[in-house]
Amino acid sequence: MEKIVPQITDNQRVNEHRAAVEHRATWMYLMLEEAQKRGLSVEFAREAIGRCGCIQKLARMETCPDFESFMKATMNELVNQAWEQEIKWGEDEVFVENHYCPLVAAWQKLTDDDERLAELCDIAMDGDRGLFDKPLMKFELIQTLGEGAPTCQMRFTKIKE
């Protein structure tokens, strides 16, 4: 898989944010490596990171209790630039396409194993599944940079009461 390359490169705040996200991805990679060397399967990481997402969801819902406010807070300007997003905003559905991912960028500095990259991406997306899926919306992951697609594509559909 080719190394992903950002188009936005001269924005200091974006670069700092990406570096911080890369740091988290690197810790995740290194801890997973050491845990697996010691015989643990990746399941533990899926549960751990999924739980992170769920906890963040509950915290965010305290100030953003509905679909629109939750999505606006999450897909904010800094995230939009750091992930180089194209977003189609609808009342009941939001479609997001990411052209860059700092997590994948971090992992590509550590490994060139495409299968491992795809696995790391899917484990990290357990965080997004925890963050987004229910009760406000249904979260669909259509394709990812981590699996070698040209962009990440995600659909968020409001769950109506």
Partner 1 sequence: MEIKNTAKKYLDDPAVVTARNCIIARGEYLYQLVNEAKKKGLSSEFAHCAIYNWGDSIRRRLKDPETTNVKEIIDQLFTEMECKIWEDEVTATEEEARVEFHYCPLLEGWLRNTDDPQMLQELCDIAMECDVALFDKPRFDYSIEESFFSGADHCTMVIRKHKPETEGDTDAH
The contacts of residue 126 (CB under 8 Å, 6+ apart) are: 46, 47, 49, 50, 53
Containing 152, the helix (H) or strand (E) segment is strand 152-158
Query: Which of 37, 91, 115, 160: binder of partner 1 (CB under 8 A)?
Result: 37
Tokens of 80: 């939009």
Q: Which is nearer to partner 1, 92 or 113 (CB)?
A: 113
49 binds partner 1 (CB under 8 A): yes
72 binds partner 1 (CB under 8 A): no
- Smallest distance, partner 1 to C-beta of residue 130, A: 10
Note whether 154 and 139 are within 8 A (CB).
yes
- Smallest distance, partner 1 to C-beta of residue 150, A: 26
Q: Which is nearer to partner 1, 28 or 94 (CB)?
A: 28
33 binds partner 1 (CB under 8 A): yes
String of DSSP letters for 27-94? HHHHHHHHHHHTT--THHHHHHHHHHHHHHHHHHHHH--SHHHHHHHHS-HHHHHHTTEEEEE-SSEE
Note whether 107 and 30 are within 8 A (CB).
no
What is the distance between the alpha carbons of residues 104 and 25, in angstroms, rounded to a whole number? 8
Q: Which is nearer to partner 1, 59 or 142 (CB)?
A: 59
Residue type, position 17, single letter: H
Binding to partner 1 (CB under 8 A) within 95-124 occurs at none
89 binds partner 1 (CB under 8 A): no
- Smallest distance, partner 1 to C-beta of residue 144, A: 19
**Binding positions for partner 1, rule: CB under 8 A:** 13, 16-17, 20-21, 23-24, 26-28, 30-31, 33-35, 37-40, 43-45, 47-49, 51-52, 55-56, 59, 78
